């Protein structure tokens, strides 16, 4: 059975591993290294992808991805060809459940049998893992998060990386990488939303322990397309209008009202994600929202979420726990820090 490397689990060997985030519009790669001065970035790079090469987190043209990876490694001085891949697509299932309490190795071997009846996909076609939410006790069961992803998209990504001459050291859930890179560890119940081109990943946690993991099939491209339809312009022009005007509060320009209407479905989906916390008798409420991803940089979005959700909202800084190493690569990372959160978290996971 193929498994996703569990959140918080150690890698089998201490290596320099590159976090590799294959997105809809670009591939981002971050290499980190631990020293006595802390964790620093040793290399960062990104390369654009043509539209349609990756859709909904699934690679459609694996040869194009392999070519882009070869280009990235030829232009950036990564020390390693070992990579950890981030998994994110609309079919990923993260569900709280209880399984038999047994040693981890035995639990992993028995997982397919225990979860067969609760998965929307056949277990033979799934990549599975289980993250405990409580320490093992004397009880017959243990509560945790079941993680399941369609196997074929994962294998496609692995093959694309290997065809580019890379070695896949592991596969990690992108939402857990996001949590690792962007969370603030205090008593607050915090949500992190990574707003991408076609999808938004939402993870809610308390002190680093995930409570909810969800993928919303809405992102920046949907907003652009809605603006294009309402204004009767091409998508390229709509994207420019969206980025230039954003959600400014100090004007009543009709175009901005169109952008606000286009953003509303995404805000409603984030709101509904928070509602899961109060279902099933729970009384936990999100008190802080941190944004990452290219879509998070839309002018006025953080203020709109703060006002409409009643939750303190800001842009997360995935570089806050890293020390810089200087140079042009880190300057590029500074500019693209919001979009690099998943890749940073994937690399950080290799240092645990």
pLDDT surpasses 50 at 1: no
Averaged pLDDT, 268-293: 84
> 11: pLDDT confidence band, cut at 50, 70 and 90?
very low
State the angle between helix axes of 254-275 and 301-309 in degrees (0 to 180), rounded to the nearest 10: 50
% of the chain with per-residue pLDDT over 70: 91
- The Cα–Cα gap between 173 and 183 comes to 15
Calculate the average pLDDT of the chain.
Answer: 86
Averaged pLDDT, 169-178: 90
The whole-model pTM stands at: 0.87
Strands (E), the chain: 18-22, 26-35, 38-48, 54-55, 58-59, 82-87, 93-100, 126-132, 141-150, 167-173, 189-195, 200-206, 209-216, 288-292, 312-315
Domains and CATH numbers, the chain: 18-225+259-349 (3.30.420.40)
Buried b (16+ CB within 10 A) or exposed e, 201-223: bbbbbbeeebbbbbbbebbbbbb
For the segment 68-89, what is each residue's pLDDT rounded down to a tens digit?
A: 999 999 999 899 999 999 988 7
> 352: pLDDT confidence band, cut at 50, 70 and 90?
low
pLDDT surpasses 90 at 104: no
The token duo for 280 is 């099933």
> 283: pLDDT confidence band, cut at 50, 70 and 90?
low
Question: Which pLDDT does position 2 carry in this prediction?
Answer: 43
Question: Which pLDDT does position 329 carry in this prediction?
Answer: 55
State whether residue 312 is helix, strand or coil. Answer: strand
Q: Between 5 and 22, whose confidence is greater?
A: 22
């Amino acid at each position: 059975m193929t498994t996703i490397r569990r959140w918080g689990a150690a890698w089998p060997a201490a290596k320099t591993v590159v976090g590799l985030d294959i997105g809809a519009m670009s591939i981002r790669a971050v290499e980190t290294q631990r020293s006595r001065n802390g964790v620093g970035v040793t290399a960062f790079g990104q390369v654009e992808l043509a539209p349609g090469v990756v859709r909904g987190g699934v690679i459609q043209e694996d040869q194009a991805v392999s070519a882009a990876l070869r280009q990235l490694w030829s232009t950036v001085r990564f020390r390693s060809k070992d990579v950890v891949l981030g998994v994110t697509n609309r079919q990923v299932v993260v569900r709280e459940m209880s399984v038999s309490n047994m040693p981890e190795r035995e639990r992993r071997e028995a997982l397919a049998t225990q979860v067969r009846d609760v998965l929307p996909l056949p277990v033979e076609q799934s990549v599975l893992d289980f993250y405990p939410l409580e320490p093992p006790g004397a009880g017959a069961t243990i509560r945790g998060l079941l993680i399941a992803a369609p196997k074929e998209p994962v294998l496609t990504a692995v093959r694309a990386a290997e065809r580019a001459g890379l070695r896949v050291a592991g596969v990690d859930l992108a939402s857990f990488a996001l949590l690792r890179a962007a969370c603030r560890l205090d008593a607050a119940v915090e949500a992190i939303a990574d707003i991408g081109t076609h999808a938004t990943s939402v993870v809610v946690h308390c002190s680093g322990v995930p409570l909810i993991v969800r993928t919303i099939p809405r992102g920046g491209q949907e907003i652009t397309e809605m603006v294009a339809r309402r204004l009767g312009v091409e998508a390229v022009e709509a994207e420019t209008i969206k980025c230039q005007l954003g959600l400014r509060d100090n004007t009543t320009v009709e175009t901005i009202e169109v952008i606000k209407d286009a953003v509303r479905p995404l805000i409603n989906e984030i709101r509904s994600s928070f509602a899961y916390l109060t279902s099933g008798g729970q009384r936990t409420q999100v008190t802080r929202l941190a944004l990452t991803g290219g879509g998070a940089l839309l002018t006025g979005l953080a203020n709109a979420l703060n006002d409409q959700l009643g939750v303190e909202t800001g842009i997360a800084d995935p570089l806050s726990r890293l020390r810089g190493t200087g140079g042009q690569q880190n300057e590029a990372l500074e500019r693209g820090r919001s979009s690099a959160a998943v890749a940073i978290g994937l690399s950080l996971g290799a240092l645990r």
